[in-house]
Structures are given as C-alpha cells and as structure tokens.
Chain A
Amino acid sequence: MKEIQDFLVGRIWLRDFTPFSKKAIEKAINKGFIAVQKGITEKLECARCLEKSSEKIIPYNCAKCEGICYYCRHCIRMGRVSSCTDLITWKEPLEISSYSHSFSWNGELTNLQQQASDELDESLRRNRSHLVYAVCGAGKTELLFPPLHKALSEGKRICIAAPRTDVVLELSPRLKAAFPDTAMHTLYGGSVFEEGFAQLIVATTHQLYRFQQAFDLVIVDEADAYPYSYDPALARAVNKSLKENAPIVYVSATPSKKMLKSTASQSKIFRRFHGHPLPVPEYRSLWNYRKSFNTNKIPAKLKEWVEQRLEKNEPFMLFFPAINMIRKAEPLFKLIDSRIGAVHSKDEDRKEKVMQLRRGEIPGILTSSILERGVTIDNVQVGIVGADEAVFEAAALIQMAGRAGRSSAFPNGEVIFFHNGISRQMDEARNLIKFYNREGQR
C-alpha cells in the first residue's frame, strides 16, 4: 500500500494504467484510500486537463457502454480520458518530515542575484507569488537554489515546470547536482518511470495535467515561452497542481505586460552574471530574401556574414522564420561549407546537433525559433533572417539575441537583424535591450 501511496499522492491518474496490478488498486479503493471519479464530468469537462470546449470534448458511440460517451482530445497523448474511464486520486495528503537537505552547490551569487534570491525567499516566507525578471545570462537558475534548499528542508513539495523537454533535460542534472540526496523525479513525454515518492519534481508543464493539489510551490521557468503563454490549459494545470493558497514563482527574461501587472512581488536583474552589457542588435537590410531563397540564391550580405564567421572560426546560429525556408536554405549553405547543419522542431537529432556546435565539430547551425532559449555556446554569433516577420515577436528576438555573449570569456557577440523593412517588434526588442544595459550599469 505504501508504494501505491508514494506514487499516487498528489496525482490524478488513469485507473487502468498505473504501475500496479488492478487487484492492488481495487483493494486500496475498497479500503477507502483511493477516490474514484469519472474522466469526463457531468458538465462535460475533462477532469484531468480541465478542457471543456466542444472542439475538444467529443461525443461518440461507445461499444463498452453501448451508448454515447465523451472523450477529451486535448490531453489524449497521455492516454485517453473518456466518460467511462476512471481517474483515481489518493485521498489523504502526505506529511513530509522537515530536515536539512544536503546542498552541494558552492557557486557564488553576484550582488544582484543575491538580492533577488533574498527577495524571493521573503515572498515564499509570506506565501505569496513572485516574478523573477532577469535578462538572458543573468543566472536565474542559480539564484533559485538557496530558497529552494530552504523550502525543501521545511518539508515542502516542489515542482519546477519548464515549457519544453529540452529545457527540462538541461535543468534536471543541475538540480540533481545541487540537491544530491533529495528524492527527485524528472517527467516529460517518454520519460522512464521512477519509483517512490519525489519531493522535488522537474517536469514539462504538460505533465502537471497529471497532478492535483500536490505542491506547496510551483516554479514556472521561461514563463513567457510557448506553449505556456499561449495555451490557457497549461495555466489551469499549474493552478490545479498547487495546494490551496500555495504560491507560484514565475521566472522569465521576457515577461508579458500581463505577467508584470498580475504579479505584485518582483525581482529584477538587468545585468548578466559576468557584468558585461547585452550585445545590442544591429539592423542590416536584406531585401527580398524570400525571393532570393526561392530562386536558390543566398542573399549577398548574408553570404558575406556567414563567410566572415567561417574565416574567423566563430560558431554561428542563424535563425529563420519558417521551416520550409530552412529546408530551402540548407543545401545552399552546405555549398559554402558542407558541415553547416540545420535543425527545427520536427528534427529528432537537434540535441546532438547543438552538442556538435558546442564542441566545434560543425561551424554553424540554421535553426527555427526552437533554439531561442536554453542554449549556451561559447562565442556564438547570432543572425536572424527576416527579423521583421510576424512570427518574431519582441520577446523571441530578445531571447535569440540573448544567445550571444553569455560566457565571461567571450562576453561580446554579434547580433544581426537581417530584415526586409524594420518592424515595431524589432525596435521594441532593441530598445528593451538598450534599456536593460542602461539599468544594469547603474
């Protein structure tokens, strides 16, 4: 029974798909430990992801019930929830004993990091939500460590949620290293089952559909990123996963106006950990680049820029507004240097390609906005083709520009906005970066 409790406490799970035998689950239900509910409620809402639009909650003729059932398309990839599937939860909350968790992080925080860390600590002490607004390369993750250590030692259950699997896989080993003895699970689509109860969970935001009143604290990393900022179901999932009155900590380099308004308590760091200013984007016109690629030509100015990078032996990332443009451009760039690689969201090898760029095995990479965050490569130079296109909002432009100059050994990278006309978003991004630099140097 203990094993079932460890797994199920704080979770909401499909009855027929637990790691335990159906008999064991039935026994726990009969003994009153487990509550059972219908997957789709009377009000036609999915009990797991709280979806209720008629586009996603679909009626059909069910052969099991020999009548009309509803199922949820929104969270179907986690195993289908329908009117006739049971969802189970553990009734009693689990008391976590407080003890001092081992903490083996021995880095040092800058004054600004320390201040933000203390402010966050104060917010958690008062149980209120908090926004950490810090520029790319400010060292956001590190400043979370001391407050996290305190909260874990107080017996709080904590989830760190990130928008994408890439970010989760990057965070997880860093947390494991900082809290080596804390029971921690890493959850994402396709992750392996880990036994026992985890006090600390690192997960993609999607995984929170499967939790209910589980956490004393949820940290939403990259809170402005797709899909969290676009899919209201994910914000609902975060709220559902929290215990009553538990706080949320948002972490972002580019928070939306709404987020800045709705979270009263904030810490701001407009300076990178190494103290150097953020590289300011330079505008470079690239007229009719789409036409150029369509006729199998790289625009001259772009070609020149790439050739300079190759000559100086500087790694580069070249962002594109659309996948089909990358497909067209890739063979053309390979004619300049056959080792130049390309990645996009549908590319399964993208992690490996990023590693190759980091190790210097390939000179540069063409990419969609999928690599706008969570990537650190020494001395990388950044070009954004079509910076004026509608898909590139100011936040995305700031994030892409934020790939440059991250390490203290190479704090000055080049960032070029290649454009076919200057957009408002480009100006907003550049003005914000200049503003951060002014504020950061005060």
Chain B
Amino acid sequence: MKCYLCADLLDLKPSWRDLFFMDREETVCLNCRATFERLIQGCKICSASGPGICEECNRWETTELRRTIDSGQCLYAYNNAMKDYFHQFKFLQDVVLAEVFSEELVKAVRKTKGVAVPIPMNPVKLRKRTFAQVDSMLEAGGADYVHLLQKNEEIQGEKTKEERISTRGIFTWNGNSVPKNIVLVDDMYTTGTTLRLAAEILKEAGAETVTFVALIRA
C-alpha cells in the first residue's frame, strides 16, 4: 500500500488492535497526516479560534437567518496541506481521496445523533464533476444519508461576500419526509451562508434541530 498523497510506502505497524478490531486501512502516511491541522475547541458553531461563539456567528443571530443552525463543527483548518488535498480531490477529481478523512467525518456526524443530510450539488455540475465529494466521503466512511434538498444553478464561489450573504432561494426541499434531528454535511465552511440557507429550508419543512459538520473551516 502506498500513501495516497506522497506515494511513499505506508509504514504499517502491526498492533494488537488490528487483531481485535476491524479498523479501516490507513490511506495516508504519518508524515502527510501530520501536515493537516485539526481544529480543537474554538467557536461552538463554526470552530473558528477563540472562546464562546465567534463574532461572525453572533452577527448571524442579528439577521433573518438567526436560529437556523443550532450548533456545528468544522474539523480542519484550511492550511496549505489542506488546500493541496482539496484541490486534488475536488478539482483534479481524485475520487479515492474521499477515504482520507471519511472516518473522522463520519465519527463527528454520528456523534450528533442526527440524520445526515449532505449539501447537494446541482445536477448539471454534478454530471460535470462526475462525483459529489460530500456523498463520496460519507459513503467511504460507511455512513447512511438522505438527500432532502435540491440546489439550483447559482455557483457560490463566483460571488462576493456581500452577494453570498444576501443570497436567497438557492435550495428547495425535495419533498422527502423530514426527520426531527438533522446534521447537515458539507466539505467547506466559508461564510456559513450555504449551511444557514439549507437549515432554514429544512426547519420550514419540519425539522426541529439542525446541526452541521464540515470538513474544513476556510
């Protein structure tokens, strides 16, 4: 087995744990693993560094989108290693890289006890990219999920921050039955607009609590 990121041979140390537990196989070497920066503590909603709830998340509570999201967690900082990883996964379409963080992502999702709902891609873009990165991470981690949302044509990345925060109606409910407790799953949290718009629709459709897990805090 070779490391997915640097192609060095993986140094697999046999351990007692391997004998008794069916752990997933490692996909990335220890050196590469160490280049990523896991977020610990930080904002109770978006994991930005600092105590309590961060300024940005507090400001959301003064807008129309207040109380859409009840809590949340981002797992990793968007450092250079993560930028390279994300580029190779999403834009070079290296689908196997879904396995690199799938275990941690699914662990965080399961901890919330909610039903996993991925932030969807719009169908045209999905065919172009040939895979949905969030779905493939959940699948690689062996988690169940349901799609409750549909996304229309707009592309978030091409807008200014102000435009993004004032965006409306990028999601619609697809009519599937809505569970009480939902955990939204996305690859990247930037301004938090996408997740709040999605949560708003789900609450209107009957969800009681909406939390989220995102792999990266940009």
Contact = CB atoms under 8 A, between A and B. Distances in A.
B4 to A, nearest CB: 8
Interface stretch (B111-119, B122-130, B173-181, B192-200): B122-130
Interface string A52-79: 0001001011111000010101001101
B36 interface: no
A77 B93 CA distance: 10
Interface residues of B, number: 15
B94 A62 contact: no
Interface in B63-95: 88, 92-95
A64 B95 CA distance: 14
Contacts of B95: 58, 60, 71
Interface in A36-63: 55, 58, 60-63
B92 A63 contact: no
Contacts of B128: 64
Contacts, number: 36
Contact of B92 (A58, A69, A80): A80
Contact of A63 (B2, B88, B94, B126): B126
A79 B128 CA distance: 14
A165 B58 CA distance: 49
B134 interface: no
A60 B95 CA distance: 7
Nearest to B92: A76
B131 A62 contact: yes
B30 interface: no
Nearest to A66: B127
Nearest to B2: A55
Interface of B: 2, 88, 92-96, 126-132, 136
The 9 tightest CB contacts between A and B, nearest first, are A60-B95, A64-B127, A64-B130, A80-B93, A63-B126, A62-B130, A63-B130, A76-B92, A58-B96
7 contacts: A60-B95, A60-B131, A61-B131, A62-B130, A71-B95, A82-B130, A84-B130
Given A63-B132, A69-B130, 12 more contacts: A55-B2, A58-B95, A58-B96, A61-B131, A63-B126, A63-B129, A73-B96, A76-B93, A80-B92, A80-B94, A82-B130, A84-B130
